Amino acid sequence: MGFVGRLCSVLAAAVLAAAALTQLAHTQPAPKPEMRQSCPGLVAGVRPPIIPAAFTLAALNADQVRISYIGHATFLIESPQQVRIATDYNDYVKPSVLPDIVTMNHAHDTHYTDHPDPGIKYVLRGWGPGPDKPANWDMTYRDVRVRNVPTNIRSWGGSTEYYGNSIFIFEIANLCIVHLGHLHHTLTQAQLDDIGRPDVVMAPVDGGLTLDLDGMMEVLAALKPSLIIPMHFFNQYTLGRFVDRAREKWAVENAEVPTFVVSRTTLPTGTKVLVLPGH
């Protein structure tokens, strides 16, 4: 075979090989989206799906947590892996999305429900089966760890319901987020040690149905969080009374929207009170 003949044979083989590869690409199943998205080196090469902005919030980075004030003592906490938590979940104040995890406290029916949505994966009641058996939670779901520290509450008649409240601690994205629940008393050193050093604290500041104002200031000073989020204040008078006291010790910021994103790198260097709109 001459040179021209050999060249034609090589070119023909190359064309056949290219055709075979094209056919193989069309017959092989495409990788599942989650397989590609789980590889950091491939994410930049994948066009993100087009999702209407009105129906979703921005995705979180691995070090971020989104916190939204729903009202009363209920917050929606969202993790980077899209775990949704609703605090003090009840029949009256609820987030618009179904949470994966809900926490509850037993003081009043605005802090718990006996009929949680059956689609909720984990229902964490902050009280145990009896006065000598407090709730004891320490669970992990995806990138969220939830644990609790039990405390006592007063009944309407003035007696004590032992371990009727729980302080819930959420460990997400290297942050420690603490929800004080319906706290009625200051904390012992053992309870403070069990909680640890929080980054964010949701604090009831009504000064009457929960802990009085002096007591709440004592608790917050002992916890030394970077961010304090007031809740359970009913009206602007009780909120203003707390804010006036807080300004004597800490910076205060009034947010325009009830949702914010926090990470360890965006925490204030000192303690700040962040007032979210709502009641």
- Are the CB atoms for 239 and 106 separated by under 8 Å? no
Interatomic CA distance for residues 240 and 14, integer angstroms: 79
On whether the 60-275 domain is CATH 3.60.15.10, my answer is yes
Q: What is the pLDDT of residue 105?
A: 97
Please name the amino acid found at residue 139: M
Q: Mean of the per-residue pLDDT values for the chain?
A: 84
Is the pTM above the cut of 0.85? no
* pLDDT reading at 272 higher than 90: yes
CA distances from 142 to 58, 96, 100, 222 (A): 19, 22, 11, 31
Give the CA radius of gyration of the chain: 26
Interatomic CA distance for residues 277 and 255, integer angstroms: 7
Interatomic CA distance for residues 259 and 190, integer angstroms: 33
Q: Where exactly are the structural domains of the chain? A: 60-275
Please name the amino acid found at residue 93: V
**Which tens digit of pLDDT belongs to each residue from 198-216?**
999 999 999 999 999 999 9
Print the SS3 string covering the chain: CCHHHHHHHHHHHHHHHHHHHHHHHHHCCCCCHHHHHCCHHHHCCCCCCCCCHHHCCCCCCCCEEEEEEEECCEEEEECCCCCEEECCCCCCCCCCCCCCEEEECCCCCCCCCCCCCCCCCEEEECCCCECCECCCCEEEECCEEEEEEEEEEECCCCCEEEEEEEEEEEEECCEEEEECCCCCCCCCHHHHHHHCCCCEEEEECCCCCCCCHHHHHHHHHHHCCCEEEEECCCCHHHHHHHHHHHHCCCEEEECCCCEEEEEHHHCCCCCEEEECCCC
- Write out the two tokens for 65: 């947590």
- 198-213 burial, b at 16+ Cβ within 10 Å, e below that, comes to bbbbbbbbbbeebbeb
| Model confidence band, residue 32 (pLDDT cutoffs 50, 70, 90) | very low
Interatomic CA distance for residues 135 and 203, integer angstroms: 20
Interatomic CA distance for residues 166 and 134, integer angstroms: 9
**Which tens digit of pLDDT belongs to each residue from 66-125?**
999 999 999 999 999 999 999 999 999 999 999 999 999 999 999 999 999 999 999 999
* pLDDT reading at 144 higher than 70: yes
- Are the CB atoms for 148 and 180 separated by under 8 Å? no
Q: What is the pLDDT of residue 56?
A: 52
